[in-house]
Structure 1
């Protein structure tokens, strides 16, 4: 799903700003045993602002105080009354309104230097601290000294350390040690640089579906490890779950956790935890099992998806009672955009009866991974049928003996009503994919080869739940079987179907009978080989045979579950693939085969001949549009799509949606494209073409989470289809879901170990997770596969070298790669490498060489991407006239993305000329046309130059959150992740301008990437700033 006329990125203009940083270090004096506390700060040098890296909420002991914050039965009490500090007389004091927290600069146990407070509550506080011995940042949880002698509180404090240490998983907070300094007891743990789900929900209300599931998949992964160790958490809530800047999610605060086999801290009959997120059995103080954590997980996922809690009431107690008596409204009923399968998963988590929930987080995790496309399983265990059976089970049948006939009749009436409603509003049939194999042609007439099968596909797809599997993809799969085959006979079609997870196949036989023909077909269960249905027709002539084919599909569709009456089916198919010429239909079939074989020129000729034979044949024009698009002739593609639409009356409803959608693809009207394919899928949810193209259109709109979601929906229909798996993995990377991306790429490589695109996507996923050595190794393996693989691998290695600040190394790789591409007649790939070569040279101050590289790129290709990036290089090297000329050309193009590029170039010129306001205006106009990653990067630079630090921070923050798009900014197999590091440098500058106390964190992030570079001119400056 690549588009050579898309997206952008770049960093060239870095405008200095005055150094406004005020050092925060202060002298310290020795106080209590093992504790150093700083001299109090004056108003001038005390830091302000809030800390987004809150580690957890701390619950106070269960005494009746006025609650503050989320209502718990371990009430949170006033920090002013219940937190402590260390005074100069070495004795802790409490109950003071101010000055009770450990101050920045305080050193505990001669090892841990307090940086700032992250959170506070009744039991104490959590700090960000520096472990001076190991030179790392940690979180430090301090218990109030006056509570340290309370056996239950101390037990709970130690319990967190003991139980958390038993759970070793990347999605569970790492606890390091229990320490003591004077009368202060503390736990040291991993510092998570990110936000809690509580903060995220407060800021955003709710999350996109894919994002919410990714978060809870990681939560379930951490809980699964805990449950395997026999540990239940008992106090899950958004405040105890954090996501770091790289998307990693961690479960924290095991202070209320207990083992399933041990007594823990609380026996049956006692209730601890946060009311809003309690399970019914926890609220009723009955025995708890792992399924209690599952209920809470469901509550959190419900809230992430809808922005609401399912048991909202006037008070927390009313809410608590509500969940013990009522059932949560299914998510899909309150928000139609939430997929039904996902709604079923959440409903299963929220079953009142614990035995009907997932019994462990591992079971939940398995279903979430199936839904994400990470698992080989075809379907999730949660279903609508199970949901409604559980509702029926809950009807009050057992009360008959005690309440008499009236109750019996009432219960029966309720049951009848539920069942009747289910019948009246029958759930849509589950999607079915069918592979139509090659019909055996016994007539000796080659005119029938690949002619009748496409027509039968269209007839089958008249059923909303049936999707015909692409016959070209099936041939590719057949060529990869242990005994490769070029034909899709019954045996081969079954093997392909089983491998691809296809439900059924259809085979056919055509015989000559006198002057006429006899055509028979049969539907076969792909796994068992059982015949599901047979049908046959007789035709007096070739022309008559064309009219009879749709009739064959009627009994086949019925056997597969279609209840559409025969008359309606035949009326539906009137005009389908209608042509007065069997030869035209044959040419269309040949064009489809040639298209699949990667011969778009020959395919275009075949489709054109079909249109000549029958000028009213709509599908011939749609084939011409597809072939032209594959040849890069976008204007021709758009025109042919328009010609196809002139014959709209000779299309099925499904065809109309598809062809209109394709028209919007070629005309690059991405919003209309989304609307058309969304409407198609509303009517035909099994349409795998619709899912694939909807994902592509979302990607062009740069809505990567929705692109990933649409691709996942398509993957559920054809779970083993390599193209569907590849698209899902790619969009997951673009959406910054790197783990899902990695798993998707590995799934493809398990099936095809030499797939170049899968290796490229795998490298992207490794880059996104900062596993640079692995990414380099993957690029090297890619180089060894083929000439195309070598080109991709060298592009990746060159980009990786720039990313790390190894500019000379990058120049050598890219120069060599461009030469090889030109020798192999691959001008587009050569131009991309020359642009990256210019970027490497710019980064090391070789402006003249960079301009030459841009000239060479423009000479090799006139694509929009090449013109855009070359123009940026010209601006950085002072050749404004050349850049202006390229901007004029792009601005005259009809595509919105090209016009956006032109606006960005004009903004870059203004930025270079120190006209920040004009630059902001141009960049904003570009954003309105296309909200690109590079446009956000440019806006951030312009705001920084204008001194608008808050606005700059917003755009640089978006660049980091959308960093998956930076992997491949133009979606054309050309890696561009090296554009990301400057964002951290620029973010450091604007946060320095904001006087943020953590501004140096951004500089440190830059150094983690390029700190070892001896060529990057920024490194020495950044090291100096990061030292503060």
Structure 2
């Protein structure tokens, strides 16, 4: 029998989940639900439906002991929230609901970066629900399941963050009482967020919990909770000790077939030293874990601040290692579950040709041609977010700027196959992590493993007076071993463009195993093919980001500033052209296209081919139409992961009524990015042109289900009808 809460496979005769303690409902249990709740109409919680005249359901996030949690859009404030629908057998008890309300008054006072905010408890048509902060990410239990056991470094880091959140709650007199991995979310930036404060205590009264509902989860309950005694901050410390044990060992210290058997082990059995399971755990950490798990409260850490201090000391002593990268293994394809997020495109007729074609030019604008090196012989590299260690948030933009510049520089080497920033963002969307701004080490490794990348580049930058220094580390994705460490420094932030990127790219090329000949520096320096002004590059990044979010007016302002600072900044002119097109400014569009043409002469490689395709598309003669098609076909062979190439081919084939070819190319684009709105929109229209209204409608409905509040899919359906 599969547990509806944690999906653990239990024996058929089990009445409780041996993994999380959830009681399985039987026909007898169902008969005990009060008549009032049985007569209550079942709410429609399908994606796109409206609940309580305010919350538009996006998707179901999970099912727990209290009820079902949904991701929803609060249409009043236009923000995503988590909505927990409380089970009828719990909500039907008036005293329980009253305790919820009282406890939430205290829980709402806990405001901390490591605590998920609780907003309010409400009722709609006899359905009680709690509205909470929505935290995009993964819960810790899922992470442990996926990785089997976390690294010591990651485990200590997460435990420290949980300590910080608990410290604030305990300071306000709020005890969690049901701390467990499934109640800890790891958000997009890698921050641990504790959820469900105040809920467990609301259930702590005899006879009100409903049949079989336990306060706390057996595997994480302290001995005093097992005995029915009042939980305090030392109880939370015990539960955190269990969680820390599970992170580093891959399993909890006490397991059993029933919740009672597990509970008794908490009272009577001494936990195993986690080092016997994982010998990579330092003695100091195993001792800390075992101290958290002392049966008597007075022998444990007496505050989370005390535990936090010890974890900080342990973290400072954790070792680092270096080794060489092993021989690469062949890259295999990976099937991706398709989810859709359509953004309909409305364009004036006079910009259709120019802007649609300009859309094809992506983030990594000025790269060196890949030549005839077979794809399988190229080293696959990815660059993730750099850490700002200057202490000045004004330099946060370099966290993204440096990786983008390194990608552009590395792409000039035909022996390196770089995973673009756009591709990383597409993968994040597929993981439901599109809101992530910072790709940290752990998330970077996860993305690289999915994509079959060989080496990952990460780093940091610091500032001492006028000197900027950039530190880079290259790690093998498969083993996580360090294979190259290098740094570069220069005077002023512009030295990153004028000196450091070129030096670092050369050292990275050597570090991934390229020979001296293959790793030789490119003929064109990064500043020559982008911009010499870091300020202009900063404005460009902000403009590009707003453009991708459809904030065209804001994008225009930033991009105009970028080209004002550097009139020869070709990539900024390109995005500015696209922006003018979407804003319907014909005069500015034509002027910007001419400036782009003027300054795009240096462009080679992949983007040089894009430029040739753009120029060919602007001439209506048949010979240039064929030239445009041939360029795109060649690009699809050389750069099979460029979704925009497949999209453009699909559009071109649609215009020539080559429907089979159009469908194939649009599907390739969607396979690369299941949330690629432009491609999904065109594919839906392609089906409607072929009178295949069922498939067209399917795409529009998928769009509506994942884009609450957006009228475009309904407009599209109206057009089709």
* Category of TM-score, reference length = shorter chain: 0.5 to 0.7
Q: 1:753 to 1:296 in 2, by over 3 A?
A: farther
- Kept in 2, the 8 Å contact 1:72–1:275? The answer is yes
Residues 79-133 of structure 1 deviation map (CA, whole Å, 9 limit, x = unaligned): 99659999xxxx834299xx74555688776656667765556655545555454
User: CA separation in 2, counterparts of 1:841 and 1:793?
Assistant: 20
Deviation at 1:252, TM superposition (A): 2.0
Q: 1:82 to 1:95 in 2, by over 3 A?
A: farther
Within a 5 Å distance, the mapping from 1:277-426 to structure 2 comes to 277-285=220-228, 288-313=231-256, 315-323=258-266, 324-330=268-274, 333-335=276-278, 346=289, 349-350=292-293, 354-355=297-298, 357-366=300-309, 378-379=316-317
- Kept in 2, the 8 Å contact 1:159–1:257? The answer is no
Residue matched to 1:834? 570
Q: 1:813 to 1:305 in 2, by over 3 A?
A: farther
User: CA separation in 2, counterparts of 1:126 and 1:334?
Assistant: 35
- Select which of 547, 560, 563 maps to 1:815: 563
User: CA separation in 1, counterparts of 2:535 and 2:495?
Assistant: 9
User: CA separation in 1, counterparts of 2:72 and 2:616?
Assistant: 47
Residue matched to 1:874? 612
Deviation at 1:219, TM superposition (A): 3.3
The question of 1:172 aligning with 2:120 is answered no
- Kept in 2, the 8 Å contact 1:119–1:125? The answer is yes
- Kept in 1, the 8 Å contact 2:73–2:80? The answer is yes
Within a 5 Å distance, the mapping from 1:365-764 to structure 2 comes to 365-366=308-309, 378-379=316-317, 702=381, 738=438, 752=464, 754=466, 756=468
User: CA separation in 2, counterparts of 1:796 and 1:78?
Assistant: 60
Residue matched to 1:232? 175
Q: 1:739 to 1:835 in 2, by over 3 A?
A: closer
- Kept in 2, the 8 Å contact 1:115–1:129? The answer is yes
Q: 1:818 to 1:72 in 2, by over 3 A?
A: closer
The question of 1:795 aligning with 2:537 is answered yes
- Kept in 1, the 8 Å contact 2:188–2:438? The answer is no
- Kept in 1, the 8 Å contact 2:643–2:672? The answer is no
- Kept in 2, the 8 Å contact 1:192–1:244? The answer is yes
User: CA separation in 1, counterparts of 2:271 and 2:16?
Assistant: 29
- Kept in 1, the 8 Å contact 2:666–2:680? The answer is no
Q: 1:379 to 1:315 in 2, by over 3 A?
A: same
User: CA separation in 1, counterparts of 2:718 and 2:60?
Assistant: 21
- Kept in 2, the 8 Å contact 1:77–1:122? The answer is no
Deviation at 1:299, TM superposition (A): 2.9
Residues 458-486 of structure 1 deviation map (CA, whole Å, 9 limit, x = unaligned): xxxxxxx9xxxxxxxxxxxxxxxxxxxxx
Residue matched to 1:591? none
RMSD over aligned CA atoms reads 6.3
User: CA separation in 2, counterparts of 1:112 and 1:77?
Assistant: 29
User: CA separation in 1, counterparts of 2:718 and 2:303?
Assistant: 47
Deviation at 1:227, TM superposition (A): 1.8
- Kept in 2, the 8 Å contact 1:156–1:255? The answer is no
Q: 1:256 to 1:915 in 2, by over 3 A?
A: closer
Deviation at 1:800, TM superposition (A): 0.9
Give the match's secondary structure for 1:815: helix
Give the match's secondary structure for 2:238: helix
Larger Rg over CA atoms: 1
- Kept in 2, the 8 Å contact 1:139–1:189? The answer is yes
- Kept in 1, the 8 Å contact 2:189–2:437? The answer is no
User: CA separation in 2, counterparts of 1:370 and 1:729?
Assistant: 34
Give the match's secondary structure for 1:177: strand
- Kept in 2, the 8 Å contact 1:883–1:905? The answer is no
Residues 430-481 of structure 1 deviation map (CA, whole Å, 9 limit, x = unaligned): 99xxxxxxxxxxxxxxxxxxxxxxxxxxxxxxxxx9xxxxxxxxxxxxxxxx
User: CA separation in 2, counterparts of 1:311 and 1:1021?
Assistant: 53
- Kept in 1, the 8 Å contact 2:141–2:182? The answer is yes
Deviation at 1:913, TM superposition (A): 3.5
Residues 855-885 of structure 1 deviation map (CA, whole Å, 9 limit, x = unaligned): 74563x8xxxx63333344345548979999
Residue matched to 2:475? none
User: CA separation in 2, counterparts of 1:178 and 1:299?
Assistant: 30
Q: What TM-score, normalized to structure 1?
A: 0.39
- Kept in 2, the 8 Å contact 1:126–1:139? The answer is yes
- Kept in 2, the 8 Å contact 1:128–1:137? The answer is yes
Deviation at 1:225, TM superposition (A): 1.5
Deviation at 1:161, TM superposition (A): 1.2
- Kept in 1, the 8 Å contact 2:190–2:440? The answer is no
Within a 5 Å distance, the mapping from 1:53-68 to structure 2 comes to 67=15
Give the match's secondary structure for 1:94: helix
Residue matched to 2:105? 162
User: CA separation in 1, counterparts of 2:680 and 2:188?
Assistant: 14
- Between 1 and 2, higher relative CO (CA 8 Å, sep ≥ 6) is seen in 2
Give the match's secondary structure for 1:167: coil
User: CA separation in 1, counterparts of 2:308 and 2:663?
Assistant: 44
- Select which of 666, 669, 673 maps to 1:945: 666
Residues 521-557 of structure 1 deviation map (CA, whole Å, 9 limit, x = unaligned): xxxxxxxxxxxxxxxxxxxxxxxxxxxxxxxxxxxxx
- Structure 2: segments with no counterpart, 5+ residues: 7-12, 208-212, 330-378, 390-397, 407-420, 425-435, 442-457, 473-491, 501-531, 548-553, 582-588, 618-625, 654-661, 685-695
Deviation at 1:158, TM superposition (A): 2.6
Give the match's secondary structure for 2:166: helix
- Select which of 70, 77, 83 maps to 2:25: 77
- Kept in 1, the 8 Å contact 2:536–2:565? The answer is yes
Q: 1:753 to 1:906 in 2, by over 3 A?
A: closer
Deviation at 1:233, TM superposition (A): 0.9
Give the match's secondary structure for 1:250: strand
Give the match's secondary structure for 1:188: strand
Residue matched to 1:94? 38
| Structure holding more helix per residue | 1
Deviation at 1:222, TM superposition (A): 2.3
Q: 1:107 to 1:942 in 2, by over 3 A?
A: closer
User: CA separation in 1, counterparts of 2:401 and 2:556?
Assistant: 32
Residues 37-73 of structure 1 deviation map (CA, whole Å, 9 limit, x = unaligned): xxxxxxxxxxxxxxxxx9x99xxxxxxx984656677
- Kept in 2, the 8 Å contact 1:854–1:870? The answer is no
- Kept in 2, the 8 Å contact 1:157–1:255? The answer is yes
Residues 933-991 of structure 1 deviation map (CA, whole Å, 9 limit, x = unaligned): xxxxxxxx998712785x4456x6xxxxxxxxxxxxxxxxxxxxxxxxxx676689899
User: CA separation in 2, counterparts of 1:948 and 1:69?
Assistant: 42
Residues 688-709 of structure 1 deviation map (CA, whole Å, 9 limit, x = unaligned): xxxxxxxxxxxx965779x99x
Deviation at 1:886, TM superposition (A): 13
- Kept in 2, the 8 Å contact 1:219–1:251? The answer is yes
Residues 803-830 of structure 1 deviation map (CA, whole Å, 9 limit, x = unaligned): 21255445544434445xxxxxxxxxx7
Deviation at 1:273, TM superposition (A): 0.9
Q: 1:125 to 1:671 in 2, by over 3 A?
A: closer
Q: What TM-score, normalized to structure 2?
A: 0.52
User: CA separation in 2, counterparts of 1:201 and 1:115?
Assistant: 26
Deviation at 1:283, TM superposition (A): 3.2
Residue matched to 2:185? 242
User: CA separation in 1, counterparts of 2:402 and 2:284?
Assistant: 23
